[in-house]
């Protein structure tokens, strides 16, 4: 599976808010954490910082020209490329650190049937020139009786949603082809102009063919970039803290602190996080219910430095956090939105995040969610103290 989802509290929408969404929100600052009152320092001299690059000689425009992608959408939608670090938390940015080409396009808002808010249409393409054995394992489990024109190492092209109540569809292709692990997906697609799902799949297959041809023509990949390790290295959730310790800080009565996985242990996300040593550690206040998480990308300082100006432009604030240098903690936290604290610790990128406070309901456990969100800075400081050199 490409995207990992946190545990849910059933199918009740209000309760599902308890699980932290993987997509990063863009909040502004919230009290009690406040911007540092330290006097402004002189503008630092900009220093070039080396980081990973896509290992294939391809750009998003080359592998999938935006006009060709827009022609697939009916009615045509104007797409906009999205900076991937604006949507990737540290654990998902592991793909970039391994040298994947990551492309995200946003197609605006499409209103779906029975949805209180419009659903955003998006197209995602990821090309990783390694992991062939793991890709074959994923395709073998996913294909079942379905055959792919690219062979047994690929699932798709496949689309769905035509004739459904929502009026929205999806398409996907993933697997090992042209010497790379390709993951190509679209969601929230208006299906009104497709007579059948076969028609939609045929149109998507034209795009998939173009992607495969471009990847195949890109040549051999360059070597994987090697990040600088921090001391001590963060290797597991246990290094960050215990459930008892972090539960006291948040006031949630945490019973477990660690990773969560709700399906077969295969797929791109699992491969990438293990290869890069990335972590996602959730705060469980029940055996399968969580509120808040800590994610880590060892060696991911390049991502923090690349994204920090965008975070500040989106309403983030530099704050003082014990355990990191001034300017190495950016808080984006606003009522009704995700509360995110990004940290640059030595050579690592760490994120502490809480979802919005859930609306009261008979299905929502009575906990001090507001207090937990307000603990984002003390929680970060406790974690940083545990990994101090």
DSSP for 185-242? Answer: EEEEEE-TT-SSHHHHHHHHHHHHHHHHHHHHTT-SPPPPP-PPPPSS---SGGGT--
Q: What's the average model confidence in pLDDT over 104-122?
A: 60
% of the chain surpassing 90 pLDDT: 62
Whether residue 258 sits in one domain with residue 127 = no
Query: Is the pLDDT reported for residue 63 higher than 80?
Result: yes
Query: Is the pLDDT reported for residue 39 higher than 50?
Result: no
Give the residues across from 312 on adjacent strands.
none
Residue 373: predicted pLDDT: 96
Whether residue 177 sits in one domain with residue 111 = yes
Is 290 contained in some domain? yes
For the chain, what is the domain count?
2
Alpha helices in 73-179 (DSSP H): 94-97, 132-143
Domain boundary among 193, 216, 239: 216
Give the residues across from 294 on adjacent strands.
281, 352
Q: What's the average model confidence in pLDDT over 63-70?
A: 89
Query: Is the pLDDT reported for residue 33 higher than 70?
Result: no
Whether residue 356 sits in one domain with residue 276 = yes
Is 54 contained in some domain? no
Query: Is the pLDDT reported for residue 35 higher than 50?
Result: no
Q: How confident is the model at residue 317 (pLDDT cuts 50, 70, 90)?
A: very high
Q: How confident is the model at residue 74 (pLDDT cuts 50, 70, 90)?
A: low
Q: What's the average model confidence in pLDDT over 77-85?
A: 83
Whether residue 77 sits in one domain with residue 201 = yes
Whether residue 231 sits in one domain with residue 371 = yes
Give the lowest-confidence range in 112-116, 207-211, 290-294, 371-375.
112-116
Question: Residue 24, Cα to own-chain centre: how many angstroms?
Answer: 7
Beta sheet of 180-190, edge-to-edge order: 80-81, 101-110, 119-128, 180-190, 168-177, 154-160
Any idea what DSSP says for residue 323? T
Query: Is the pLDDT reported for residue 325 higher than 90?
Result: yes
Residue 140: predicted pLDDT: 85
Give the lowest-confidence range in 27-31, 69-73, 209-213.
27-31
pTM score, whole prediction: 0.83
Give the lowest-confidence range in 80-89, 215-224, 227-236.
80-89
Q: Which residue has the higher pLDDT, 347 or 32?
A: 347
Cα–Cα distance measured from residue 335 to residue 294, given in angstroms and rounded to the nearest whole number: 20
Residue 288: predicted pLDDT: 74
Is 24 contained in some domain? yes
Whether residue 283 sits in one domain with residue 177 = no
Whether residue 82 sits in one domain with residue 19 = no
Is 50 contained in some domain? no
Residue 141: predicted pLDDT: 85
Residue 364: predicted pLDDT: 80
CA distances from 379 to 113, 247, 325, 340, 386 (A): 40, 9, 17, 12, 11
> For the chain, first and last CA: distance in Å?
36
Whether residue 19 sits in one domain with residue 149 = no
Is 284 contained in some domain? yes
Whether residue 274 sits in one domain with residue 143 = no
Q: Which of 33-37, 67-71, 278-282 has the highest mean pLDDT?
A: 278-282
Q: What's the average model confidence in pLDDT over 257-264?
A: 82
Q: How confident is the model at residue 76 (pLDDT cuts 50, 70, 90)?
A: low
Whether residue 336 sits in one domain with residue 251 = yes
Whether residue 237 sits in one domain with residue 380 = yes
Residue 254: predicted pLDDT: 86
Cα–Cα distance measured from residue 206 to residue 303, given in angstroms and rounded to the nearest whole number: 34
Which pair of structure tokens corresponds to residue 134? 């793991």
Is 138 contained in some domain? yes
Whether residue 113 sits in one domain with residue 243 = no
The predicted-structure confidence for 170-188, as pLDDT tens digits, reads as follows: 999 999 999 999 999 998 8
Q: How confident is the model at residue 136 (pLDDT cuts 50, 70, 90)?
A: very high
Cα–Cα distance measured from residue 166 to residue 290, given in angstroms and rounded to the nearest whole number: 29
Q: What's the average model confidence in pLDDT over 350-378?
A: 92
Domain boundary among 216, 244, 277: 216
CA distances from 132 to 182, 219, 284 (A): 10, 16, 34
Q: Residue 381: which domain range?
A: 13-45+227-386
Query: Is the pLDDT reported for residue 376 higher than 80?
Result: yes
Exposed, middle or buried, 199 (CB in 10 Å: 0-12/13-18/19+)?
middle
Cα–Cα distance measured from residue 357 to residue 373, given in angstroms and rounded to the nearest whole number: 8
Is 136 contained in some domain? yes
Any idea what DSSP says for residue 84? G
Is 53 contained in some domain? no
Domain boundary among 160, 181, 216: 216
Residue 72: predicted pLDDT: 86
Q: Which residue has the higher pLDDT, 104 or 117?
A: 104
Residues 6+ apart with CB under 8 A from 304: 328, 342, 343, 344, 349
């Amino acid at each position: 599976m490409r995207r990992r989802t946190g545990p849910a509290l059933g199918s009740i929408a209000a309760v599902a808010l308890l699980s932290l969404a993987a997509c990063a929100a863009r909040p502004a600052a919230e009290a009690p954490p406040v911007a540092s009152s330290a006097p402004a320092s002189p503008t630092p001299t900009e220093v070039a910082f080396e980081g990973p690059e896509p290992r294939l000689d391809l750009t998003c425009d080359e592998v999938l020209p935006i006009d060709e992608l827009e022609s697939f959408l009916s009615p045509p939608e104007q797409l906009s490329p999205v900076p991937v670090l604006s949507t990737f938390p540290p654990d998902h940015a592991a793909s970039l650190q391994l040298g994947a080409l990551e492309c995200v396009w946003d197609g605006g808002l499409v209103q779906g049937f029975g949805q209180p808010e419009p659903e955003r249409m998006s197209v995602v393409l990821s090309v990783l020139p390694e992991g062939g054995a793991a890709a074959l394992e994923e395709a073998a489990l996913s294909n079942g009786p379905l055959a792919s024109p690219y062979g047994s190492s690929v699932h798709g092209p496949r689309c769905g949603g035509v004739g459904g109540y929502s009026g929205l569809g999806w398409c996907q292709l993933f697997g090992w082809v042209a010497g790379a692990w390709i993951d190509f997906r679209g969601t929230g697609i208006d299906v009104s102009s497709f007579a059948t799902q076969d028609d939609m799949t045929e149109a998507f297959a034209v795009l998939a063919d173009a992607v495969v041809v471009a990847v195949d023509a890109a040549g051999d990949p360059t070597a994987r970039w090697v990040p600088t390790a921090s001391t001590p290295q963060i290797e597991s959730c246990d290094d960050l803290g215990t459930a008892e310790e972090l539960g006291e800080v948040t006031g949630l009565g945490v019973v477990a602190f660690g990773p969560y996985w709700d399906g077969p242990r295969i797929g791109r996300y699992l491969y990438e996080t293990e290869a890069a040593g990335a972590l996602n550690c959730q705060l469980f206040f029940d055996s399968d219910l969580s509120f808040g998480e800590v994610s880590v990308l060892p060696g991911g300082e390049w991502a923090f430095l690349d994204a920090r100006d965008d975070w500040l432009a989106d309403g983030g604030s530099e704050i003082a956090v014990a355990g990191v240098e001034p300017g190495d903690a950016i808080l984006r936290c606003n009522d009704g939105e995700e509360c995110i604290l990004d940290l640059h610790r030595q050579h690592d990128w760490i994120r502490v995040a809480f979802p919005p406070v859930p609306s009261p309901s008979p299905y929502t456990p009575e906990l001090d969610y507001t207090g937990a969100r307000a603990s984002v800075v003390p929680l970060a400081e406790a974690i940083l103290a545990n990994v101090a050199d």
